[in-house]
Amino acid sequence: MLKKKKKEDSENPENTAEMANENGQTDGQEQAQQIEQAEPEISLEEKHKEELTQANDKFLRLYAEFDNFRRRTIKEREDARKTEGKDVIVALLPVLDDFERAIRSMENATDIVAVKEGVALIQNKMKNILAQKGLKEMQSIGTPFDADLHEAITNIPAPTDDLKGKVIDEMEKGYELNEKVIRFAKVIVGA
């Protein structure tokens, strides 16, 4: 009977072609299409999961890298704050040594003029070192009073009319560091 059926199918190729045309495809093609339709849904979902996993991994690595950068920056700032005045202090160490030698020599000194000259030399050395670092003395006497540069201690009657509103005397010098006032001059102003 099987032989008979196969003969009929082979004799009627039109029958098979008609069935394939009605359905648009053969059974084997239909199964392949169903498998292909099922696979893209699964692979698309897996693809999205994989992309999400990769994005999370990149995010975690970037976050860790940023956190390390932040910690390193904080540590560098702390180290910089601890040693920010190091160059000035190192430059002033010879002045400190000079003061120690001056104190030792004052114990046995009989000539006061020599001691005064030694102290003046030390002061000049210190002023030169600070000037190299950007420190500058402000000249206040005879200049008009400026609240941005001066701190008025008191007003006194001006000895002459041209000194009214000007600085007559200076109690403490004012200083600028790299063109920025770091200490206001304490002055007496003529009224």
Q: Per-residue pLDDT tens for 20-52?
A: 444 445 555 666 555 555 555 568 888 899 999
Nearest to 87 by CA among 138, 54, 31, 130: 130
pTM comes to 0.52
Instruction: Assess contact for 94 and 100: CB atoms under 8 A.
Output: no
Q: Per-residue pLDDT tens for 149-174?
A: 888 888 888 888 888 888 888 888 88
Which of 112-131 are b and which e, b meaning 16 or more Cβ less than 10 Å from the residue's Cβ?
eeeeeebeeebeeebeebbe
| Contacts within 8 Å (CB) and 24+ apart, 152-155 | 152/187, 152/188, 152/189, 153/186, 153/187, 153/188, 154/188, 154/189, 155/188, 155/189, 155/190, 155/191
**What's the token pair of residue 120?**
């003046």
Q: Inform me whether the pLDDT recorded for 9 exceeds 90.
A: no
Nearest to 174 by CA among 128, 141, 142: 141
Instruction: Assess contact for 119 and 148: CB atoms under 8 A.
Output: no
The pLDDT, as a whole number, for residue 79 is 86
CATH number of 137-191: 2.30.22.10
The pLDDT, as a whole number, for residue 140 is 85
CA–CA separation, 188 vs 183, rounded Å?
16
CA distance to 87, 116, 130, per residue, from 121 (Å):
22, 9, 14
The pLDDT, as a whole number, for residue 27 is 59
Instruction: Assess contact for 127 and 160: CB atoms under 8 A.
Output: no
Domain ranges of the chain: 33-83, 85-133, 137-191
